[in-house]
Structure 1
Amino acid sequence: MSGDFHFRGRLTDPAVLSRLDLDVTKSTDEIDIWIPGYMEPTIREALDGFEPGRRGPGVPSFDFLLENTHRSAVHLEMRDVYDEEPEFIHWKRTGEVVYDFAAWKKQLAPCIKRGVKFRRLRIVAEPVSDYIRWEHAISSGNIDAGEDLRWLPRSQTYDLLLPGADLWLFDQRRIRFGVQRGDGSRGTYEFSSDPRIVRQVVASFEMAWDRAIPHADYKIH
């Protein structure tokens, strides 16, 4: 043939379809696609570099995900209680707002420099919990780090289809779900790059974001 690669997906040329049928069987739920020959090095690298039994790098770290993000990172928070950090316990005891965002600002700085936009959305029940009240008090640190932060009362989300867990979404391609325990402590992480799941998450986040209130305008109740 021409040297180009052909895969089952979307293809309509009768001559190519006829020739392809001589080499590859086709199921009733498959169509054909065409990939130009200049992609041969990429495809060869994937095919020829395959090693039976080879294992991947395992669960990606947050640092790895962030370092490989180039356009956008969004964080959706939907719980009213999380791990009680020492600064939160101190605030409950004394009313003093103390939190060091230096490490977070340092981590975000190179991402922001290469053009990554950070958005954080917090969906909260009202009246808010003590934890959310504390988060609101320290949120100027998120803004200073370069985040766009909004708040959305849970009473305004009843007609939205939201994910079942908090999440980070990177470049609208990779998702890290944070599955918390019932007491608010950290549980497990689940990951997905399935386009069907990503599409649903993007849609639900954007609908919630459109309704949400910018941090500067949100008053604690």
Structure 2
Amino acid sequence: MTSIDDDEFERLLTDFEHEAIHLETRDAYGTAVELPHMAKWAAGEPDDLEWLQGWCATLRDHAAAGRSVRRARIVSEPLSDYQRWSFSIAAPMVDAGEDIRWVPRRRISSIPIPGNDFYLFDDRLVVFLHYTGNGLAVDKVISTDPGDVQLCRTAFEAVWRVAIPHREYKPV
């Protein structure tokens, strides 16, 4: 497996041909982009979500081109503050074309999943996302190994079958 930088990751997020799937397994993240906005939310301050508009534009482009973007979020209930905030900002991404689904952790007890969050692009390339204990991203590594691709595809589809679409999920 080889580490990639943010520029290469951004390229992968925009240049896939058919489908990008993303499995999130953590209850909290701490990305530099998100932390100030989550702090506003925690303080009850308004956020115009302007910072999300670039991603939403990318999602609209994918949808217009017939490309699929799906995300499954495995969450503990009651939701962590991070996941409650994530839920509160998901609608613009869903409206732009990303199919986001929520999976209460109790639903996946017997589903084998990879040890790290990942993106799978066009069933050919996996990007495993590595985080510190407090949720800060530390590395992104790629794999084209057929075993990794199959593991991620199988895990994602098993989780997806028990996932709840964003508009139907009622946060606990």
Task: State the TM-score, normalized to the length of structure 1.
Answer: 0.70
Instruction: Tell me, yes or no, if the aligned pair for 1:87 and 1:98 is still in contact at 8 Å.
Output: no
Q: Please point out which of 57, 62, 73 is paired with 1:122.
A: 73
Instruction: Tell me, yes or no, if the aligned pair for 1:124 and 1:153 is still in contact at 8 Å.
Output: yes
Instruction: Tell me, yes or no, if the aligned pair for 1:151 and 1:218 is still in contact at 8 Å.
Output: yes
Q: CA deviation at 1:97?
A: 5.1
Q: CA deviation at 1:95?
A: 5.5
DSSP 3-state at the match of 1:94:
coil
Cα offsets for 1:99-151 (capped at 9, x unmatched): 23211122233332322111011000011100100110111011122111110
Which residue number corresponds to residue 75 of structure 1? 22
Percent identity for Structure 1 against Structure 2: 37
Cα offsets for 1:4-36 (capped at 9, x unmatched): xxxxxxxxxxxxxxxxxxxxxxxxxxxxxxxxx
The yes-or-no answer on 1:104 pairing with 2:51 is no
AA aligned opposite 2:17: H
**Higher gyration radius (CA):** 1
Q: Please point out which of 136, 148, 152 is paired with 1:201.
A: 152
**Distance in structure 2 (CA, Å) of the matches to 1:97 and 1:131:** 15
Instruction: Tell me, yes or no, if the aligned pair for 1:70 and 1:111 is still in contact at 8 Å.
Output: no
More relative contact order in 1 or in 2 (CA 8 Å, sep 6+)? Answer: 2
**Distance in structure 1 (CA, Å) of the matches to 2:129 and 2:156:** 15
Q: Number of paired residues?
A: 164
Task: State the TM-score, normalized to the length of structure 2.
Answer: 0.89
Q: Compare the two structures and name the one with the higher strand fraction.
A: 2
Q: Which sections of structure 1, spanning at least 5 residues, go unmatched? A: 1-57
Which residue number corresponds to residue 59 of structure 1? 4
AA aligned opposite 1:114: A
Q: Which sections of structure 2, spanning at least 5 residues, go unmatched? A: none
Q: Which moved more, 1:136-145 or 1:97-106?
A: 97-106
Q: CA deviation at 1:98?
A: 4.2
DSSP 3-state at the match of 1:135:
helix
**Distance in structure 1 (CA, Å) of the matches to 2:46 and 2:106:** 30
Q: CA deviation at 1:63?
A: 2.5
